[in-house]
Structure 1
Amino acid sequence: MAEAKRQTIIAVIVAVVACLGLSVMPLWGQAVGSRVVEREIQSKNFAQNKIGTSAVRKLVVYLPAGYDGAGSDGTKRYPVIYFLPNPLVGYRDLFDKNGAQALFDRAVAAHAIGGFVFVSVDMTTPLGSSWYVNSPVTGNWEDFVVQELVPYMDANFRTLAARDSRGIAGDFMGGYGAIRFGMKHPEVFGSVYALHPVGTGSGVQVMYSRPNWDLLANATSLDDVKKDGFSTIFTSIFQAHLPDVDRPPLFIDLQAHKVGDRLVIDTKVTERLRENFFIESMVPRYADNLKSLRGFKFDWSRNDTNMDHIYSNQALTHKLNEFGVPHEAEEYNGSWGDGVWGKNGRMAAEVLPFFERCLVF
C-alpha cells in the first residue's frame, strides 16, 4: 500500500513538472517585449554658445518587441523615426504622459507599421525652442542632429543606416524643425511628417506686432523676457535667425525699435529674418530637395485659436504646389494639441501608417 502511494505521488510530481515544462518552454524562445531606454550625448556643438545651452543632450529611444531576447538573433535592423517634440513640453512626455510605448506596440502588433526604432530628443534652449538651426548664440543644432545624433543612433542601435529608412517627424515647433531638416538634408532623412507646424510663413498678424519691444530693448537678462509669452518665443526666434554675439544679454538684432510712441521697422533686419526663418521663403531654394523625398506630409487643426497657424499652413501648401513639390497637406477638424496621441489620435491613425508607406523596412 505504501509503495503504491509512493508511486502515485511520483507520478503526480512528474505530471506537474511536465506541465510546467510545456508551459515554460515556448516562452523560453520568445523575444521580450518592447522597451524604452534613456541616453545622453555629450555634444561638441554647443561649446561656444552665449546663453548657457547645455552640451549634454538627452534622448529617449523606443525599441520594438523582438529587438531583444532569446527570440532575437541580434542581427535584424530597423528603420528609425526621429521625433522633435513640442519644446513647450518635455521630450519624455509622449512616453510618461501620453502612452506612446503602448500605442507603438499596438500599431506594430496590428501590422499598421513594421517594427521600428523611435527616438525623441531634447532640442531646447534656456528660452525654449532652438528652431533647429546653427546659431553662434544658442549652439549648432543642425550640426548636432546631422553630425552627432544620427551617427550615434546608427553606431549604438541596430538601425538601417540609410536615408530611405530614416523618417523625421515633429509637433508644433518640432513640426517646423522636421520640415526644415527634410528641406536641407534629404540625404539624411527620406520622409517627413510635420504635426501642426508653426513658422511656415506669414500669418494674419505681422510678426512685429507680437513681441513687447520695450521689454526686449530694456532687458537686463534672459529672465526679463520670460515675463511675456510672445516675447520669449520671438526672442528665441531672433537668437536663432538674427544672432548678434556683441549685444548681450539677449544677443539679438532687433527687428523693430521704439522712437517715442512710434514703432520703427528695420527693413534689412526684417528681410533677413523672413528669408532665414519662414519655411515658405525657403521653398524656392530647396524645392528640388523636397522633390527627392519619399514622402512629405503636414497637417494643422481647423480650430486653432491662433489664426496665424491656419493661414500660413494653407499658404504653404499653395506655395509647394507652385514649385511642383509632391506633398500631402490636411486641415483636420479639431483644436491644436488635441487628438495627437491616444488610440485614435493622429499619431496612430496618420503618422505611423504614413511611415509604413514611406520607410524601407
Structure 2
Amino acid sequence: MSSGLTRFSFLSGGLAFAALPALAATASRTEARTIASKHFIHNKIGLSPDRAISVYLPAGYDTGKQRYPVIYILPNLFDTDTTLFATYGAQAVFDAAITKGLIGEVIIVSADFSTPLGSSLYVNSPVTGNWEDYMVSELVPYIDRTYRTLPAAASRGVAGDRMGGHGAIRFGMKHPDMFGSIYALHPVGTGNGVQIMQGRPNWDLLSQATSLEDVKADIFSQIFTAIYQAHLPNPGKAPLFVDLPAKKVNGELVIDTALTAKLQDGFFLERMIPAYADNLKRLRGFKFDWGRNDGNFDHVYSNQAFAHKLDEFGVAYEAEEYRGSWGERHWGPNGRVMTDVLPFFAQHLAFA
C-alpha cells in the first residue's frame, strides 16, 4: 500500500487560532489526510481509491511524547469524514470533554465511507469496494504508523452515528482483536422492522432506472439501492449493479425468496449474533442507544429486538432508549457524544 498526504488543513471547531498565537503550539487541531487504497480499484461506481480521513489531535500532541488511545467515529448516510467538524462542531465538543475531565486525551479519527448513493455499509463489495478490508488492513495500520497511538485493541474504540452505528457494531462483532469497545448511536439495520424491507423502495423506479442518478428521485429507493450494492451486488448488471430482491408484476409486489434471505442474512446485525456472540463477549465495553421518537418506528422496534437477541446469547451490553428523534441529540455541548459516548470510552479504553 502506498499512502501520502495530499490534503492538509486546520478546522477551527470554535477556537480562533489567529487571535491566540500563544496557544497555537498547544491547541488541539484536526488534520486532513488521504490514504491511497488498494481496495477500491475494482469498484464499478467510479469511486476514487484515494480515501479521505480527518484526524483530531488533542491539545499538546505536538509538544509531547505520550501515546494516546484512538476512537474511530463512523459517519451516517450521506456524511463524509469532515461532516463531524464542519457541521456538528466536533472539535469543540472533544476539546470541552477533555477539559471537563469527561475523557482523557485521545486521538479521534473520522473517515469517508460514502458512496454516490450515500453509504458503503462498511462491507466488502465487488461493486462499491472492499470497505471492511480498507478499515482493518489500511486505515487502522496507517493511523498507528503515522501518529503516537497505543496500538492495541484495549486502547482502540469504534463508534458510529446511525448507519455509522451499524458499521461500528459490525466491526466490533468481526474484529474484537482490533476494537476493544464499541458505541453505536441510534444504529439502523439491526434487524427486521414493522414494515417489510421490500415495502420501502419504488420498484417501478428501480426497474426503469438508466443510471444511478435516477434512483435519487426517491430517498428510500436510493438508500436501498446502496444496501443492495453492498449485500446483493452484481458487477455485470449495469446501471445499478445489483440483483433486485423484488419486482412488480401486474401491479403486485413479487418477492424473490432466495435473494431476500441473502439480503437479510448479510444486512441485519441480529442475524450475525449466533456466529459472533463469542466475539462480542470479548469486548471491554458495548453500548448502543436509540431515540424512541424516531419518525421511522422500524428503527425503534429493531433495536429493541436486537437487545433481546443479545440477551438470548448471553452477550453483555448496555442499551438505552431515550426521549429523542433521528439524531437530534447527538452533538452540541449537551449532546449524547458529550454526555454518553465519550464518558463510555473514558471507562472502557486503556489509557497510557
State the TM-score, normalized to the length of structure 1.
0.89
Q: Which residue of 2 aligns with 1:58?
A: 52
Q: Which residue of 2 aligns with 1:327?
A: 317
CA distance in structure 2 between the partners assigned to 1:307 and 1:107 by the alignment:
32
Task: Please state if 1:136 is matched with 2:126.
Answer: yes
Alignment of 1:8-47 (within 5 A): 32-47=26-41
Unaligned regions of 5+ residues in structure 1, if any? 1-26
Deviation at 1:211, TM superposition (A): 0.6
Distance 1:31 1:240, change over 3 A: same
Amino acid at match of 1:58: A
CA distance in structure 2 between the partners assigned to 1:211 and 1:100 by the alignment:
33
Distance 1:224 1:164, change over 3 A: same
Task: Please state if 1:96 is matched with 2:86.
Answer: yes
Task: Please state if 1:205 is matched with 2:195.
Answer: yes
Secondary structure of 1:128's partner?
Answer: coil
Deviation at 1:87, TM superposition (A): 2.6
Residue deviations 1:278-314, cap 9 Å, x none? Answer: 0011111100000100000000001100000000000
CA distance in structure 2 between the partners assigned to 1:29 and 1:144 by the alignment:
36
Q: Which residue of 1 aligns with 2:5?
A: none
Amino acid at match of 2:36: Q
Root-mean-square deviation over aligned CA pairs: 1.5
CA distance in structure 1 between the partners assigned to 2:269 and 2:91 by the alignment:
31
Amino acid at match of 2:222: T
Deviation at 1:31, TM superposition (A): 6.0
Residue deviations 1:315-352, cap 9 Å, x none? Answer: 00000000000000000001112111111110010000
Deviation at 1:77, TM superposition (A): 0.4
Amino acid at match of 1:165: S
CA distance in structure 2 between the partners assigned to 1:121 and 1:168 by the alignment:
12
Task: Please state if 1:314 is matched with 2:308.
Answer: no
Deviation at 1:28, TM superposition (A): 8.8
Unaligned regions of 5+ residues in structure 2, if any? 1-20
Deviation at 1:217, TM superposition (A): 1.2
Deviation at 1:135, TM superposition (A): 0.3
Alignment of 1:95-174 (within 5 A): 95-174=85-164
Q: Which residue of 1 aligns with 2:247?
A: 257
Q: Which residue of 1 aligns with 2:336?
A: 346
Amino-acid identity (%): 63
Deviation at 1:29, TM superposition (A): 11
Q: Which residue of 1 aligns with 2:228?
A: 238
CA distance in structure 2 between the partners assigned to 1:87 and 1:228 by the alignment:
15
**Over alpha carbons, which structure has the higher Rg?**
1
CA distance in structure 2 between the partners assigned to 1:132 and 1:333 by the alignment:
28
Secondary structure of 1:125's partner?
Answer: coil
Distance 1:343 1:215, change over 3 A: same
Q: 2:80–2:113: 8 Å Cα contact kept in structure 1?
A: no
| Greater Cα offset, 225-234 or 254-263 | 254-263
Alignment of 1:234-313 (within 5 A): 234-313=224-303
Q: Which residue of 2 aligns with 1:221?
A: 211
Secondary structure of 1:68's partner?
Answer: helix
Secondary structure of 1:313's partner?
Answer: helix
Residue deviations 1:49-83, cap 9 Å, x none? Answer: 111122111111100012113xx2xx310000001
CA distance in structure 2 between the partners assigned to 1:249 and 1:29 by the alignment:
53
Secondary structure of 2:167's partner?
Answer: helix
CA distance in structure 2 between the partners assigned to 1:267 and 1:107 by the alignment:
49
Deviation at 1:97, TM superposition (A): 2.5
CA distance in structure 1 between the partners assigned to 2:92 and 2:203 by the alignment:
46
Deviation at 1:98, TM superposition (A): 2.0
CA distance in structure 2 between the partners assigned to 1:93 and 1:266 by the alignment:
37
Secondary structure of 2:217's partner?
Answer: coil
Q: Which residue of 1 aligns with 2:3?
A: none
Secondary structure of 2:62's partner?
Answer: coil
Q: 2:80–2:114: 8 Å Cα contact kept in structure 1?
A: no
Q: Which residue of 2 aligns with 1:84?
A: 74
Structure 1 stretches (4+) deviating beyond 3 angstroms?
A: 27-31
Distance 1:218 1:28, change over 3 A: closer
Q: Which residue of 1 aligns with 2:12?
A: none
Q: Which residue of 1 aligns with 2:62?
A: 68
Q: Which residue of 2 aligns with 1:180?
A: 170
State the TM-score, normalized to the length of structure 2.
0.92
CA distance in structure 2 between the partners assigned to 1:218 and 1:192 by the alignment:
40
